[in-house]
C-alpha cells in the first residue's frame, strides 16, 4: 500500500494534506496512518494464516497508546522489554495474557509486576535471570511461565548495532548451552517451561537467516521433547525489514511459507514479535526548512527536526527518504545534507540529497513510524514533537507537543 499521494502538487498522507497538519499542529510533527497500521498488521495475519500466530507487536518500535490500542483491537499481543512498556500496554487496554516479556536485564520489580498482571511468558536470556524469576515467583507463591531466548549464532547480515543473533552479542543463551539451561529451568520449582524463542536482528531484507535460525531452534525443540519437555509455543522473534530506500521488498509470504513448512505437524503454537514492519512505513516526520546554507564545498538544508526527533541516521547511518511536500518548479535543486539545529556533527537526517527548497518549505521524512518518536530525547532542551494519527482524510492529535516546563518540572532548584 502506498500512503503517499500528490494532489494539486501537495503531498498527502492517508488522504490528509501535510501542510494542513503543519499549520494545525506545528512542526516537527510525527504523523501516523491508521490505515497503514491496519494494512501492515493484516499482511502478517494473511501471510501466516496457515499457522494462526499470536502476533506480539514490539512496543519499543512505537509505544504511543493509540498505536497500542489500535493493534490490541486488531487482536495483537505485545512484546515488551521493560516494566514501563508493560504499563503502557495495560494503559492502552492491551491484554496481559498476550504479553511476552523480553530483555536481558529484567529487575525484581518488573518481574513482580509481570507475574501479578499475568503475562503470557518471560523470554529469559540467562541462567541468573531464571534463578531470579524463580525466586520472585516463589515469594509470590506463583509459577512463572518461561521461554528461553536462544542465540542461534546466525548472521542476520544487517547493521552491527541491530544484529543480535551472533555469539558475540549480549542477547540470548548460547545454542550450545541451551539444553543445560532448559534442564536448569526444569529443576526450578516455581517455573513452568512453555516455549522457545530467538530474535537475530532487525531490518532483515534477506530472510534466509530467519529460516536458518528457526531450523536451529527446532533441533532443540526435538531434543527437549525427547527428554519429556514438550513446548507450547515457538516464538520466531521480530519481523522483516522495510523499504527505506532501494532495498528489495522482503518476501513475507515466502518467509511465512517456509515457517509453515518447518512447523508442519508440530503441536506448538506460533508466536512472533514484529515491530518495525508494523509501524515503520506508517509514519512520517514532518519538518520545516529554516535555512538553506550554501557552502564552498557542501550545502546544508537546515530543518527544525533533529537527531533528537529521529536518531536513526546518527545511530546507524540509516537512510530515510525525504520528499518535498509542495515541490517548486522554479527553484533550482542543490545537493545538500539535511541537518537539524543540534550542536553535534552527527545531527543529520540525510546526506547528499537533491532538493529544491527555500526557507519555510515543508519536508516529509519518510519511514519515521518506527524507532523515531520512541527513541526521541530532549537533547539541547528541545521539546519532543507532537504526534498525529491520520485516517482516510481525517486527523487527530494523539500526543501533545511537550512544553518547556515539562522538561524541567522534576528538577530541584
Ligand X SMILES: *Cc1c(COP(=O)(O)O)cnc(C)c1O
Q: Please, which residue, 61 or 256, has the CB nearer to ligand X? A: 61
Closest approach, Cβ 237 to ligand X, in A, equals 5
What distance separates the 2 farthest-apart alpha carbons in the chain? 74
Closest approach, Cβ 25 to ligand X, in A, equals 26
Contacting residue, 274, 313, 340, 369, with ligand X by CB under 6 A: 274
Does residue 202 touch ligand X according to CB under 6 A?
yes
Contacting residue, 31, 55, 61, 355, with ligand X by CB under 6 A: 61
Q: Spell out the residues 6+ positions from residue 405 whose beta carbon is closer than 8 angstroms to its own.
A: none
Q: In Å, what is the CA distance from 233 to each residue of 72, 210, 305?
A: 20, 17, 43
Rounded Cα distance between 224 and 266, Å, is 13
Closest approach, Cβ 323 to ligand X, in A, equals 23
Closest approach, Cβ 62 to ligand X, in A, equals 10
Instruction: Name 395's bridge partners.
Output: 390
Contacting residue, 273, 309, 337, 361, with ligand X by CB under 6 A: 273
Does residue 235 touch ligand X according to CB under 6 A?
no
Contacting residue, 199, 233, 366, 384, with ligand X by CB under 6 A: 199
Contacting residue, 102, 287, 367, 374, with ligand X by CB under 6 A: 102
Instruction: Name 32's bridge partners.
Output: 283, 389
Q: Spell out the residues 6+ positions from residue 227 whose beta carbon is closer than 8 angstroms to its own.
A: 182, 183
Does residue 106 touch ligand X according to CB under 6 A?
no
Residue 282: burial class (beta carbons within 10 Å; 0-12, 13-18, 19+): buried
**Any catalytic annotation for residue 343?**
yes
Residue 227: burial class (beta carbons within 10 Å; 0-12, 13-18, 19+): exposed
Q: Please, which residue, 80 or 181, has the CB nearer to ligand X? A: 80
Q: How many C-beta atoms surround the C-beta of residue 377 within 10 A? A: 12
Rounded Cα distance between 15 and 35, Å, is 10
Q: Reduced to 3 states, what is the DSSP secondary structure of residue 79?
A: strand
Q: Which stretch binds ligand X (CB under 6 A): 213-221, 268-276, 285-293, 377-385?
A: 268-276
Closest approach, Cβ 141 to ligand X, in A, equals 29
Task: List, by residue number, the catalytic residues.
Answer: 343
Binding residues: 239, 273-276, 312, 316, 344, 371
Binding residues for pyridoxal 5'-phosphate: 239, 273-276, 371
Q: Would you tell me which residues interact with ligand X (CB under 6 A)?
A: 58, 60-61, 79, 81, 102, 199, 202, 237-239, 273-277
Amino acid at each position: 500500500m502506498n500512503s503517499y499521494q500528490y494532489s494539486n502538487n501537495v503531498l498527502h498522507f492517508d488522504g490528509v494534506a501535510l501542510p494542513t497538519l503543519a499549520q494545525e499542529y506545528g512542526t516537527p510533527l510525527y504523523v501516523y496512518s491508521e490505515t497503514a497500521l491496519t494494512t501492515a498488521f493484516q499482511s502478517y495475519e494473511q501471510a501466516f494464516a496457515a499457522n494462526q500466530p499470536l502476533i506480539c507487536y514490539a512496543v519499543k518500535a512505537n509505544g504511543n497508546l493509540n498505536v497500542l490500542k489500535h493493534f490490541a483491537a486488531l487482536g495483537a499481543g505485545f512484546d515488551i522489554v521493560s516494566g514501563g512498556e508493560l504499563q503502557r500496554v495495560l494503559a492502552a487496554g492491551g491484554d496481559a495474557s498476550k504479553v511476552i516479556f523480553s530483555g536481558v536485564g529484567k529487575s525484581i520489580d518488573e518481574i513482580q509486576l509481570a507475574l501479578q498482571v499475568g503475562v503470557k511468558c518471560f523470554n529469559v536470556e540467562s541462567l541468573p535471570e531464571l534463578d531470579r524469576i524463580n525466586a520472585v515467583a516463589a515469594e509470590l507463591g506463583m509459577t512463572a511461565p518461561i521461554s528461553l531466548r536462544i542465540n542461534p549464532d546466525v548472521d542476520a547480515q544487517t547493521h552491527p548495532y541491530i544484529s543480535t543473533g551472533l555469539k558475540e552479542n549480549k542477547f540470548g543463551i548460547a545454542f550450545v548451552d541451551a539444553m543445560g539451561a532448559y534442564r536448569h529451568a526444569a529443576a526450578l520449582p516455581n517455573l513452568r517451561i512453555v516455549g522457545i524463542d530467538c530474535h537475530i536482528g532487525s531490518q532483515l531484507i534477506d530472510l534466509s537467516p530467519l529460516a536458518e535460525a528457526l531450523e536451529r531452534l527446532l533441533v532443540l525443540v526435538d531434543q527437549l521433547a525427547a527428554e519429556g519437555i514438550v513446548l507450547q509455543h515457538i516464538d520466531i522473534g521480530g519481523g522483516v525489514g522495510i523499504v527505506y530506500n532501494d532495498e528489495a521488498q522482503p518476501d513475507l509470504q515466502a518467509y511465512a511459507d517456509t515457517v509453515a513448512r518447518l512447523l508442519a505437524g508440530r503441536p506448538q503454537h506460533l508466536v512472533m514479535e514484529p515491530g518495525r514492519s508494523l509501524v515503520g512505513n506508517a509514519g512520517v516526520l514532518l519538518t520545516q526548512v529554516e535555512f538553506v546554507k550554501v557552502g564552498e564545498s557542501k550545502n546544508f538544508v537546515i530543518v527544525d527536526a533533529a537527531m533528537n526527533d529521529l536518531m536513526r541516521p546518527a545511530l546507524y547511518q540509516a537512510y530515510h527518504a525525504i520528499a518535498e511536500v509542495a515541490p517548486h518548479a522554479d527553484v533550482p535543486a542543490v545537493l545538500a545534507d539535511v541537518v537539524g539545529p543540534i550542536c553535534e556533527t552527527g545531527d543529520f537526517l540525510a546526506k547528499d540529497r537533491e532538493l529544491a527548497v527555500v526557507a519555510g518549505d515543508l519536508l516529509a521524512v519518510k519511514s519515521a513510524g518506527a524507532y523515531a518518536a520512541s527513541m526521541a530525547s530532549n537533547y539541547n532542551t528541545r521539546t519532543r514533537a507532537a504526534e498525529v494519527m491520520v485516517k482516510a482524510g481525517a486527523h487527530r492529535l494523539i500526543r501533545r507537543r511537550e512544553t518547556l516546563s515539562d522538561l524541567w518540572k522534576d528538577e530541584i532548584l
